[in-house]
Amino acid sequence: MTEYDFWKIFPRMPKKVTIGDITLRDGLQHEEKFISTAAKIFYGEEMVLAGCREIELTNLGSPEGIPQFRDGEQVLVYFRGEKFKKRCERAGVNCDDITFTAVTIRETAVDTAIEFKKRGIGPDRILMMVSTDPEHHFANSGTTLSQYWKEAERCIKKAADVGIKMCGTVSTIWGSPITGATKLEDAVEFSKRWLEIGAYDIEHADHDGSASPDQVYRYFSMVLDEIPHPEVHLAHFHETKRIASASVLAALQAGITRFEGTLGGLGGQPTNFLDDCPVRGTGEYYYGDPRYVGLVTMEDMLVMIDELGIEHGYDVDRVLWLGAKMEKTIGRRLRSEAIYNGRTMKEGHPEFARPGLPKLIQKLGEEPGRKIPRDWAAKAALPEKYRP
């Protein structure tokens, strides 16, 4: 007989996951208008109060290239301040349980994070990134891979000296927007390299929506065979073909327990235009229409995981409310379907029932709840040719 229990079919599939929010950084980096500091603080704080315990607050790189984050210091100051702490205390949230991350692609940004840490406003965790495609890596960092690995090794050591953890990102795992196909084996090796030089955890990134569910399952199975510690691994999916939710499911089936997403599926390549002015970003966009790029949608991913019965720690309705607010902040329809259609309600929606069924049942003399004619057998007699 077929096994129907999902967790027996996929014994590595978790019953509990951690879902990080990267809206304020990865989500907003693609927006071509400046999002106010007040809005960034509002959404960051509200996501924490909704249950988020791993949150990316900003990018500490040069504001010349990424001016969306010119207020990074102000954002960090707020989340280290008394107002935020008191609001958390009133809500029963322990601030020590929250990990604040800032992206620091190059060493100068790492130095900024260290300076902030010494001042008491720094992040708990920073992030550097390599791509398995040398061309994509050069487009992002301006270095060769060999140069960058040495830089990352230095940065991990000096960040650790002040109590900052390093997340090592591996990108272009399932393909590169520049050179095309890549090898999964390279990404597994890069993951081990990050740990070898002292990284705290690994973000496994589908940079441009190249991933397909079968290859996601294969890759994460390979990774967990080589590095069998789920807490070390973080799945990061982009959405360009509307199949990222299938990749999330495949990662769950492989045994991944940590995910991240953005409200409304915001995000993509750093913008090369802000307000009324072109900016450097990372050059020309890799795609023809920026409306069809972004990250996996936090709201939809959360609803799927919730309906799978997997523990996640969020107030789902509060996150859906925030997703609706984010559409007003951004000024356009975003990619979440869940903020409009909600969750599948086990109690249904009785308000949509057509009136008159109880009276008709009574008129026909049927018992309430009967679903087949009274003179039929309780179980169907399947014709011989259709039987197993």
Burial class (CB in 10 A: 0-12, 13-18, 19+), 353: exposed
Q: Kindly report, residue by residue over 193-202, the tens digit of the pLDDT.
A: 999 999 999 9
Q: What is the pLDDT of residue 291?
A: 74
Q: Is the pLDDT of residue 138 over 80?
A: yes
Q: What is the pLDDT of residue 236?
A: 97
Q: Kindly report, residue by residue over 227-242, the tens digit of the pLDDT.
A: 999 999 999 999 888 8
Q: Is the pLDDT of residue 101 over 90?
A: yes
How is residue 94 written in tokens? 């322990």
User: Do the beta carbons of residue 234 and residue 260 sit within 8 Å?
Assistant: yes
The dihedral sign for the CA sequence 253, 254, 260, 265: negative
Helical segments of 210-264, H only: 213-226, 244-254
User: Do the beta carbons of residue 130 and residue 124 sit within 8 Å?
Assistant: no
Q: Kindly report, residue by residue over 291-334, the tens digit of the pLDDT.
A: 778 999 999 999 999 999 999 999 999 999 999 999 999 999 99
pTM attached to this predicted model: 0.94
pLDDT band at 165 (very low <50, low <70, confident <90, very high): very high
Q: What is the pLDDT of residue 287?
A: 77
Domains of the chain, earliest start first: 11-341 (3.20.20.70), 357-386 (no CATH)
Q: What is the pLDDT of residue 290?
A: 73
Q: What is the pLDDT of residue 173?
A: 97
Q: How far apart are CA 122 and CA 164, in angstroms?
A: 8
Q: What is the pLDDT of residue 139?
A: 87
Q: Kindly report, residue by residue over 322-381, the tens digit of the pLDDT.
A: 999 999 999 999 999 999 998 888 888 888 899 999 999 999 999 999 999 999 999 999
User: Do the beta carbons of residue 225 and residue 12 sit within 8 Å?
Assistant: no
pLDDT band at 249 (very low <50, low <70, confident <90, very high): very high
Q: How far apart are CA 55 and CA 77, in angstroms?
A: 15
Q: How far apart are CA 229 and CA 44, in angstroms?
A: 29
pLDDT band at 220 (very low <50, low <70, confident <90, very high): very high
What does DSSP say about strands 273-274 and 277-278: parallel, antiparallel, or unpaired?
A: antiparallel
Residues contacting residue 232 through CB under 8 Å, at least 6 positions apart: 195, 201, 202
Q: Half-sphere exposure of residue 249, counting CA atoms within 13 Å on the CB side?
A: 15
Q: What is the pLDDT of residue 344?
A: 85
Closest Cα to residue 232, out of 196, 197, 203? Answer: 203
